């Protein structure tokens, strides 16, 4: 039982981290970025390729990948997401899907069709509650907790965080207050891309990644944030952990073949019973 909980929390922590980036992009741009899962896969496959080709220590890769993903996020915001702010919802979805296809195609061209995996970032195991827990799982949970804490501190306790929140909540008023909204939005997308990079590096030792892994992962992240409450950072954490635990238990006690069917069935039920998600708020029209 402890082994299943550890596996579920480990996988769920990665979903949390990736889901936070998903929510950050939506809150700052109003765009549902269906390429976010591909950014996670990009981070993981780039880490695996770099560690294999250059012999780079995995922990060094964990530090380098999010730094490289940050400017990529800035470029993505400028080239694709920024123009979408003035488009309608269907156009935004179409272009974000196009970005997903472009990223997956570039991964196929540059890194090839071979699936890739990364060696554990830390080796060894520790005895916990009568079970042997990998240090890798502890690293994943600690890294996710630290980044969640960093996001809370940044957005709730710093002047920059106030500007980021104001730009996301009311761009017009923020501009009147002298805040450079476009710069804040680009910075938010850059942070979200860095989260995707970290999530990819943490995921690569657990799951074998291929160039076409991004779209299924994006759908799972979408399920997680909808269950938790779309647009809620805390909801992304709750939804990510719930999804990770659910996926592990379904795989163990039912079958891995039914994981996606049951997960999307759960999404359907949540949308029927509580459309705003577990921690979402009902928005009243006036």
Tens of pLDDT along 46-74?
A: 999 988 888 888 888 888 999 999 999 99
Question: What pLDDT was estimated at residue 192?
Answer: 94
Question: What pLDDT was estimated at residue 87?
Answer: 62
Q: Could you tell me if 233 and 44 are in contact, meaning their C-beta atoms sit under 8 angstroms apart?
A: no
Question: What pLDDT was estimated at residue 2?
Answer: 82
Question: What pLDDT was estimated at residue 56?
Answer: 80
Question: What pLDDT was estimated at residue 281?
Answer: 63
Low-confidence ranges of the chain (pLDDT < 70): 84-90, 280-286
Locate tokens 């999307």: which residue?
264
Of 144, 111, 142, the residue nearest 126 (C-alpha): 142
The widest CA-to-CA distance across the chain, in whole angstroms, is: 59
Question: What pLDDT was estimated at residue 284?
Answer: 46
Question: What pLDDT was estimated at residue 285?
Answer: 41
Question: What pLDDT was estimated at residue 14?
Answer: 95
């Amino acid at each position: 039982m402890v082994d299943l909980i550890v596996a579920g929390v480990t996988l769920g922590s990665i979903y949390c981290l990736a889901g936070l980036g998903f929510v950050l992009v939506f809150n700052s741009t109003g765009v549902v970025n269906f390429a976010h899962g591909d950014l996670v896969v990009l981070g993981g496959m780039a880490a695996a390729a770099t560690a294999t080709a250059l012999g780079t220590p995995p922990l060094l890769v964990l530090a380098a990948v999010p730094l490289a993903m940050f400017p990529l996020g800035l470029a993505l915001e400028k080239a694709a997401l920024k123009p979408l702010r003035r488009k309608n919802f269907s156009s935004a979805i179409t272009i974000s899907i196009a970005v997903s296809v472009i990223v997956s195609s570039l991964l196929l061209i540059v890194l090839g069709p071979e699936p890739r995996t990364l060696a554990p970032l830390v080796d060894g195991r520790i005895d916990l509650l009568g079970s042997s827990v990998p240090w890798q799982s502890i690293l994943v949970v600690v890294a996710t907790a630290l980044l969640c804490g960093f996001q809370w501190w940044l957005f709730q306790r710093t002047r920059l965080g106030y500007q980021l929140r104001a730009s996301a909540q009311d761009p017009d008023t923020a501009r009147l207050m002298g805040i450079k909204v476009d710069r804040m939005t680009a910075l938010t997308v850059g942070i979200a891309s860095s989260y995707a990079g970290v999530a990819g590096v943490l995921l690569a030792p657990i799951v074998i990644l291929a160039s076409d892994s991004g779209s299924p992962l994006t759908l799972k992240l979408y399920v997680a944030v909808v269950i938790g409450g779309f647009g809620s950072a805390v909801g992304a954490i709750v939804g990510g952990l719930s999804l990770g635990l659910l996926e592990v238990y379904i795989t163990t006690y039912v079958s891995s073949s039914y994981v996606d069917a049951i997960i999307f069935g759960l999404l359907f039920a949540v949308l029927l019973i509580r459309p705003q998600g577990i921690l979402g708020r009902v928005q009243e029209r006036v």
